[in-house]
Amino acid sequence: MACRVMAKGDASKPKTVPNKHLHARISYLYQAANYLANQSAQDAQQTGPGAMNIDNTKAGVNAFPPGLPFYYASHLQSVSMKSQIRLSQNIKHSICKRCNAILIPGSTSSNKIENLSRGGKKPWADVLIIECNVCKAQKRFPVGAKRQPRKSERARVQREKQVKAAEQAGQDVFDIFQDARGCGGEVFPVSGLAETL
């Protein structure tokens, strides 16, 4: 009886995010890096072309000196790796993997769409290429292609098709699953079929 009371008490408590302070730290580092990268891009545009002349720099020297945005982005990635927190895709896509620059379209990165199919006729072959202007690294993301469903989803769809085909053919659905899995009498969560086979 005491177990049930504890279970009800646990169920009423709201679930908290583990390592909430690390999530807040990662979020702050990303916001700070993004803000500083935007500020440095705006400062470069406001001061004019003489402030950052790429042609006058020596060979091998980057036009963008490494600064706080680079450091914050690399620190953000190291914190997420050490704490085993997965970063969202949007954050990963906006940070250069090679130099840790925040990729801002038009200032620190350039975007273009490429289609390498013959004549560019296949719309599902479009690829978005994001090139970092600091280190010239490229990220490639498919644009028009649909993602393949996960294996569990494909297996569920295949089971549903087998059940429909068996019902239409008048076969016993139990025989299909017994042959497929080598077991009998299990409950299979198929939509519309939630009974013991």
Reported confidence tier of residue 60, pLDDT bands at 50, 70, 90? very low
pLDDT over 70 at 175, yes or no: no
Instruction: Tell me the per-residue pLDDT of 3-19, one tens digit each, with 9 for 90 and over.
Output: 455 555 556 677 888 89
Query: Given a cut of 70, is residue 44 above it in pLDDT?
Result: no
Helix, strand, coil percent content, the chain, rounded in steps of 5: 50, 15, 40
Q: b or e along 148-184 (b: 16 or more beta carbons within 10 Å of the residue's beta carbon)?
A: eeeeeeeebeebeebbeebeeeeeebeebbeeeeeee
pLDDT attached to residue 62: 47
